Structure 1
């Protein structure tokens, strides 16, 4: 499929703004992207016309509210995200920790939705963040049930024994393999014989030990099961 170089540059500019903390000057972005200022200025002007970027009082650029509109629109039409949202809220209210929906989209594993718990997390993935496949609980569950959705390269990097174990027990645990100090439990959403995503619970590692860890596994698997039953009850993906 033929790609547009202009669109690629615009997306790179948006990603650079995101990774810089959401705000940067034209000069800072041009240096980071190794792009002429004049070219970048025209791109940013076009993005600003659609509210995808904005300028503050000092002329620095930041991500615009138009991205929120587009993101929420995409989330609203995603059947799995729509069905999972109330279950994420229910699990978070019951257990107090943060719950996510992680799913494969466009060959990548991404966080589609998230409900924040009351526990303090020093670091946690945000909605839209890409999730590495080979070192996460959700990634290993995808490799166990639907490796074709996340690519052969990821399968080659993951430990086969860990993938088999995740499939056997019906959930997986990631203890600081991706983000230091963070423990994540994930369970697959299996409906109509296919994997539609994973429900994940994330918490600071010290807070998930013993019975608390067992409870996190139970809440995560219960939520994934409820989402799967809703999907099988007639909701189309």
Structure 2
């Protein structure tokens, strides 16, 4: 079993499971760690990871660990929808970073997670765990709450706790998502990292679309992040990007 359900049966699906494990970790993993994270038998993981290395999608480090390869990065960057969205968003992300001097993200929904397509940061920004290409559970991130709040399908899964402030009770999360819809932006108050909070607003392909295709967020230290002030800036940037995408 994997965290998302039964072990996939097809070779392709098992290969994707290994790729996701490599990508989600943020660090190189040993074969034993990959087998543990994916639930794959070690001989199967060894055979498949060797094929992924041969294809250039995974690379083997000098100490025998495995990490996402350059080939997969190039392949992902070639997706037109990802490239067009990222290129359109970069000016607005840059303006937000200049205004706040904090971490700025462009994220898209990915199953039960939020996937960070882009991250702009600097030495002045609060150090945080997120990274370009990384994922975090939607229920404990500001961008993820935007997606959940505007998705008519409720999350049918166990909500894992990342910090003592993570909302894991369905009723708590439902109230928070209702507040997200009412004010127009999502807020994460130390729910993914202690001492770190975030504000996010939805981005639509067209003004009249009911569900967002992406979200923009600003993430920083809780003590210096003014939620209302930053929320207004993030909403303005998200609306501007939506207009640009609609043109």
Q: TM-score range by the shorter chain?
A: 0.7 to 0.9
Q: Which of 169, 180, 184 is 2:194 aligned to?
A: 180
Partner-residue secondary structure (3-state), 2:114: strand
Corresponding residue number in structure 2 for 1:208: 225
Q: Which runs of 5+ in 2 are unaligned?
A: 1-7, 160-168
Structure 1 residue runs of 5 or longer lacking an equivalent are none
CA, structure 1 residues 126+173, in 2 after alignment: closer, same or farther (shift >3 Å)? same
Cα displacement (A) at 1:54: 2.0
Contact kept in structure 1, 2:186 and 2:200, CA below 8 Å: yes
- Return 112-121 or 43-52, whichever deviates more: 112-121
Partner of residue 240, structure 2: 226
State the shift of 1:37 in Å. 4.5
- Classify the secondary structure of the residue corresponding to 2:79: helix
Counting only pairs closer than 5 Å after superposition, residues 1-237 of structure 1 correspond to structure 2 as: 5-18=10-23, 21-30=26-35, 33=38, 35-74=40-79, 77-105=82-110, 108-148=113-153, 151-153=154-156, 157=170, 159-190=173-204, 191-194=206-209, 195-209=212-226, 213-233=227-247
Q: Measure the CA separation in 2 of the matches of 1:57 and 1:18.
A: 18
Matched positions, count: 226
CA distance in 2, matches of 1:15, 1:147: 27
Q: CA RMSD in A?
A: 3.0
- Shift of the 219–6 alpha-carbon distance from structure 1 to 2, 3 Å rule, reads same
Taking the aligned partners of 1:231 and 1:101, their CA distance within structure 2 comes to 14
Distance 1:214 1:69, change over 3 A: same
What is the alpha-carbon distance in structure 1 between the residues aligned to residue 246 and residue 26 of structure 2?
Answer: 40
Q: Structure 1 residues 117 and 38, CA, compared in 2 at 3 Å: closer, same or farther?
A: same
Q: Secondary structure at the match of 1:46?
A: helix
Could you give the per-residue CA deviations for residues 100-133 of structure 1, whole angstroms, max 9, x where no partner exists? 1122245653222221144343423222333433
Q: Which has the larger radius of gyration?
A: 1
Q: Which structure has greater helix proportion?
A: 1
TM-score when scaled to structure 2?
Answer: 0.75
Q: How much does 1:165 deviate?
A: 2.2
